Amino acid sequence: MNKIGLTKKLNNSHITFFVIAVVLFWMKTYIAYRIEFKLGIDNNLQKFLLFLNPLSSALFFLGLGLLFKKWTKLVMIIINFLMSFLLYANIVYYRFFNDFITIPVLLQAKSNGGQLGDSAVSLLSPTDIFYFSDFIILIILALTVFKKVTVNNRKSYKVVLLLAITVFLFNLGLAEKDRPQLLSRSFDRNYLVKYLGAYNFTIYDTIQNIESSSERALADSSDITDVQNYRNANYTAPNPAYFGKAKGMNVIFISMESFQNFMIDYKMPNGQEVTPFLNSLIHDQNTFYFKNFYHQTGQGKTSDAEFLMENSLYPLGQGAVFINKAENTYQATPAILKGYGYNSAVFHGNYKTFWNRNVMYKALGYDQFFDASYYDMSPANTKNYGMKDKPYFQESMSMLEGLKQPFYAKFITLSNHFPFAMDPQDTNFPAFNTDDAVVNQYFQSANYMDQALEQFVNALKADGLWNKTVLVFYGDHYGISENHNEAMTKVLGVNQITPVLNAKLQQVPLIIHVPGVKGGIQTQVGGEVDVRPTVLHLLGIDTKNFIEFGSDLLSKQHRNWALFRNGDYVSDKVIQINDKCYSAQTEQLLSSNVLCKDIDSRVKTELQMSDEIVNKDLLRFYKPKGFTPINPDDYNYLGPKGNKGIKTTPKSS
């Protein structure tokens, strides 16, 4: 064949079309990585891997088109669209959650779908069309230059497949060199995407999920033994000065949506406090304010915080326990307190299916669930995720007063939720003045929440509940993600958000008010997992017989560290971020990891054990002394028109 003939053939062949498709898709993905994701690229090898990693997926998946004789181009275009869609979905999800989509999140979308409202729209931009540009170009090429290319001889498929596998193995080899055990230690999805790419991550995630559901089937009662031994060895005994000091009192937990600790005592440039009520509450003589307290949530956000607080187990690395493991056996606070004569209820101004709560709350043993169907959800009362905090607390009071005492109740606030936009009539508090609207609005919605909390506490005082109720206020998780760091430097008056500062920004306030007990500002380090033993010990209930990972914050043996779901941790002495060890005092990077080793191994053990408990549903094999197991079928949350959510006649026990 002469030169002109060859050029002509290539110009018009399927393989040319394929090469164009691969290159466009590869480059687009790489540009998306650079623009949209913060993957923490540390060295040249990682830079190279980030560039290389879309190639194997592009070759493999687009190459599938070469298997077809007649529909080659069409199949490639469809595959391009599906992969572009996956990439774009990840981009949008990442803009909000700073994380990648996993299979459980997709399953979650079914129950949370359609309720994102303002949040979802604010994450889209017209320039996003770029992420489908190659798809559009391929259609145009197929209809013009490549129109006459019709029959594909399918010969090239094997070569392309071989090439895709070779590129993938080369990629994986280099990745393992930089990050040994990449595939087995997957606490942090960022690593997987950084090294192997967003598409390969999805494949990995799918395999993991299939594995997890078979895990439950294969587990047996012997699997709980190691956990029990670890638990017994690390039990923190209650502090006699506090044990039982709140015996028989009511308990109210208040989840403060997206509320971070830096807001406490924060003053606006004009000197105005953002949360004057909470600022005064932390100085009440009966208040314990834990200022070095961390959220430990994963993708399950609010629901993960609830899970941590009531089970003293860790949330999952992927997806929400509330969604994926709601059928498991749990021994949660509402169920434990039932044995002590408590009645339990949740108040939430959103629909009961959100986070699959209507299923999960049964497993946790909640007697009543007052969801949106109990509230006046008219437009003036609602915004974004549901009830605005003020009408929410107001309307909740009569339902709360109707509960038989002693009660254990949980309130989940909503107004301080991303993107924190307020209706103008609901605030006259100034917005902050950065270039970032989300950050600016955060101060207004936090101030609104603070006012709502004050009204609630005043109502509790007015009806006499304040003096016989333990109140636990906690921020559920961060509100301002790393994507807003630029504006945050201005808010915090610093030059940059260092890794240590970023870890400290995961602090959320924990405020426990115990009538008649002298409190104070507490500096010990702790996390959400520690709240259950702390509160149960105050109520005079020893947690020794329960499987839990928390350590009583008021115990003299409190361990003084808190882990994050990605395996990082903070202690009073050292802070480990991304496998790097920092001094907690100087916040400087230490030259060796030696000082971080001990806690690091406990962190790994606890996350792994907790995951086993949840994934294998191990609590079904464990019978705590004196605890009556929950049968979820005994509960029904039928709403105000049904049976008022009251427990049906128990079938068992």
Quick check: 437 and 419 in contact, CB under 8 A?
yes
Is residue 389 involved in binding Mn ion (CB under 5 A)?
Answer: no
- Check residue 388 for interaction with ligand GP9 (CB under 6 A): no
88 is a site residue for ligand GP9 (CB under 6 A): no
Shortest Cβ 98–ligand GP9 spacing (Å)? 13
With contact defined as beta carbons under 8 Å apart, do 65 and 18 qualify? yes
d(CA 63, CA 67): 8
Contact string (CB under 5 A) for Mn ion, positions 224-263, x = contact: ---------------------------------x------
Nearest distance from C-beta of residue 481 to Mn ion, angstroms: 12
395-414 footprint of ligand GP9 as x/- string (CB under 6 A):
-----------------x--
CA distance 190 to 37: 9
Q: Which is nearer to ligand GP9, 417 or 647 (CB)?
A: 417
Phi, psi of 626 (to 5 degrees): 75, 5
The correct pick among 243, 289, 354, 369 for binding ligand GP9 (CB under 6 A) is 354
Q: Which of 72, 202, 275, 302 is catalytic?
A: 302
Check binding of 195 to ligand GP9 (CB under 6 A).
no
Q: Which residues have a Cβ under 8 Å from the Cβ of 185 and sit 6 or more positions away?
A: 567
Considering the rule CB under 6 A, would residue 416 count as an interface residue with ligand GP9?
no
Point out which span in 47-55, 69-77, 350-358, 582-590 binds ligand GP9 (CB under 6 A). 350-358
Residue 202 interacts with which of Mn ion, ligand GP9, none, CB < 5 to 8 Å by class: none
- Bond from prior residue into 334 cis (ω within 30 degrees of 0): no
| CA 248 – CA 94 distance, rounded (Å) | 45
Question: Which of the stretches 6-14, 140-148, 264-272, 470-478 binds Mn ion when contact is defined by CB under 5 A?
Answer: 470-478
Query: Is 72 near Mn ion (CB under 5 A)?
Result: no
Q: Is 80 in the site for ligand GP9 (CB under 6 A)?
A: no
Residue 225 appears among annotated catalytic residues: no
- In this structure, what token pair is assigned to residue 189? 């999805």
Per CB under 6 A, the segment of 210-218, 264-272, 347-355, 574-582 that binds ligand GP9 is 347-355
As a whole number of angstroms, the distance between CA 306 and CA 335 comes to 14
| Closest listed residue to residue 147, CA positions, set 239, 320, 17 | 17
Q: Which of 14, 189, 245, 301 binds ligand GP9 (CB under 6 A)?
A: 301
Q: How far is CA 440 from CA 116, 437, 565, in A?
A: 21, 5, 28
Regarding 637 and contact with ligand GP9 (CB under 6 A), the answer is: no
Task: Residue 228: count other Cβ atoms within 10 Å of its Cβ.
Answer: 12
Instruction: Give, rounded to a whole angstrom, the gap between the first and last alpha carbons of the chain.
Output: 86
Pairing of strands 382-383, 520-527: unpaired
Residue 528 binds Mn ion (CB under 5 A): no
Question: What DSSP letter does each residue of 68-85 carry, written as one string?
Answer: -SS-HHHHHHHHHHHHHH
Q: Which helix (H) or strand (E) holds 219?
A: none
**Is residue 189 a contact residue for Mn ion (CB under 5 A)?**
no
- How many chain residues are in contact with ligand GP9, going by CB under 6 A? 8
Which residues contact ligand GP9 by CB under 6 A? 301-302, 350, 354-355, 385, 412, 417
Mind telling me the catalytic residues? 302
